[in-house]
Amino acid sequence: MEELGRAMAGRVRAFVGPDASLALVGPLGELLWSSMDDEEAAYISDIVRKLSGFLSRGDYYVGSLKGKKVIVLKATDKVCLALVAEAKEGVMLYALRSLLNAFPEKIAELESKVAEEAIRAELEVCPVEVLDPASGREVKVVPADAIPYVPEGIAPRAIKLDSRLIDILRVVDGKTVADIARELGMDVREACELVARLLEEGVLKAKVAEELKGDYNIVFTPKAALGDREVLAREDIGLFEKFILMNIGRGLTVLELSWGLRGLGLDLKPDDVLSLLKKMEEAGLIVRGP
């Protein structure tokens, strides 16, 4: 992997300049190889995790970060190429596409590895907005097993913090959100919501360790429209299934549905969620695809 990454990065720099940074990214935002700094890598990981399930092979995303252009190219069904550089969009896209022609066998081998093997990765967490079947309200949460941290180089800013948010900031030190909740005598759901707020304010970031598989970026949609009240009234399905049916139309991936469940204190890993989704698919309740 290291040899492939360095060879690709060298070819890209020949096109767009020596300051260009490259990343090979799996479908859930996992960095397979990267020459990017932490901020660039976190940004790319988030973009790929959110968009990979919606992009087709050959599609690309264009963005910007720190005054530089960002391009993410869907190279294969399981692998994205990402480039950050101070160059024109067309030149960057040409450089990425040249990699597909220069390293076709290596990229195919990489895709096969990603598809067949579960990868242990540490992902940057973004708050997930879900509808809570217990309360009937929309909430933004992070998974309870995420580890929040204070990012380096945070710029001074004026933010209104209540006593609960301040309490969380005081005890952040390599602990999971669930550990923080226990230490403060706080409900885990509340702690997951509060940490999500701090992430959105840019005061904290968070990471979570995941066992990743390619299927975790699949998006399911309801086969027939069901109102929230209709879902909540059903006695033939459990709480997990109700959560899924109430949130399945939000464009969330399998991984993001798992984050939402874990943010509500319901401990279901992505593989558990995928198993439930497949059963619901077989029952004719949902279908694959955005």
One DSSP character per residue, 15-75 reads: HH-TT-EEEEE-TTS-EEEE-S-HHHHHHHHHHHHHHTTTPPTT-EEEEEETTEEEEEEE-
**Residue 158 pLDDT class (50, 70, 90 cuts):** low
Query: Measuring CA to CA, how many Å separate 289 from each of 38, 54, 160, 251?
Result: 32, 9, 40, 9
Residue 204 to residue 199: CA distance in whole angstroms: 5
Q: Where are the beta strands (DSSP E) in the chain?
A: 21-25, 31-34, 60-65, 68-74, 80-85, 119-124, 128-131, 138-141, 147-149, 205-212, 220-222, 286-288
DSSP-assigned letter for residue 215: G
- Quick check: 63 and 70 in contact, CB under 8 A? yes
pLDDT tens figures, 136-147: 889 999 999 999
Rounded mean pLDDT of 166-176?
A: 93
Domains in the chain with CATH codes: 2-117 (3.30.450.30), 136-209 (1.10.10.10), 213-288 (no CATH)
Sign of the Cα pseudo-torsion (117, 121, 126, 131, in order): positive
**Residue 280 pLDDT class (50, 70, 90 cuts):** confident
Residue 157 to residue 159: CA distance in whole angstroms: 6
Residue 225 to residue 238: CA distance in whole angstroms: 19
Residue 236 to residue 244: CA distance in whole angstroms: 14
pLDDT tens figures, 47-80: 887 787 778 899 999 999 989 999 999 999 889 9
Rounded mean pLDDT of 20-40?
A: 90
Number of CB atoms found within 10 A of residue 114's CB: 24
**Antiparallel, parallel or unpaired: β 21-25 and 31-34:** antiparallel
Res 102: pLDDT: 94
From the number of C-beta atoms within 10 Å of its C-beta (0-12, 13-18, 19+), residue 192 rates as buried
Instruction: Show the tokens assigned to 199.
Output: 């992430």
Higher pLDDT, 255 or 212: 255
Which stretch of 47-56, 122-131, 173-182 has the lowest confidence by average pLDDT? 47-56
